[in-house]
Amino acid sequence: MDAPGLPGLRVLVVEDVVMLAWRVCDILAGAGAEVVGPVPDVPHALALLGGREVDAAVLDMNLDGETAEPIADFLAARGVPFLFLTGYAWGDMEGRHAARPALGKPVRPAALVRMLADLAAGRPVA
């Protein structure tokens, strides 16, 4: 079975670590996504979302000590699927969106693309 792609999917990337942000953007662009961002924090993400439609998002849970929950709230209210990238151990995520799909860091490209493809298609995420 071929790996899924993300052709034309507009994906917001919110990550405060510049090298990781560019890595995620490269992975997504390589899978055919239109990358929106990256942005490093909540205010920039919300400002960008106020004027731009996205189909999905990849959010770092911890943005230099600030939680990404306001971004997650915005996306959830609009029915936009998203996942978290996290350095936290499984089960250690807290907050309103702790049950959302998450991938650990370091990012595994195939897992990221597959999870986003499933989320965008409305398929269950394993």
Q: Residue 50 is part of a domain; what is its CATH number?
A: 3.40.50.2300
- 91: containing domain: 13-97
Q: Is residue 105 part of a domain?
A: no
Q: Is residue 28 part of a domain?
A: yes
Q: Is residue 1 part of a domain?
A: no
* Whole-number pLDDT of residue 1: 39
- Model confidence, pTM: 0.91
* Whole-number pLDDT of residue 95: 66
* Whole-number pLDDT of residue 32: 97
* Whole-number pLDDT of residue 69: 92
pLDDT in tens, 42-56: 999 999 999 889 999
What residues of the chain score a pLDDT lower than 50? 1, 90
As for how many domains the chain has, the answer is 1
Round to the nearest angstrom and report the end-to-end CA distance of the chain: 17
Omega before 38 within 30 of 0, i.e. cis: yes
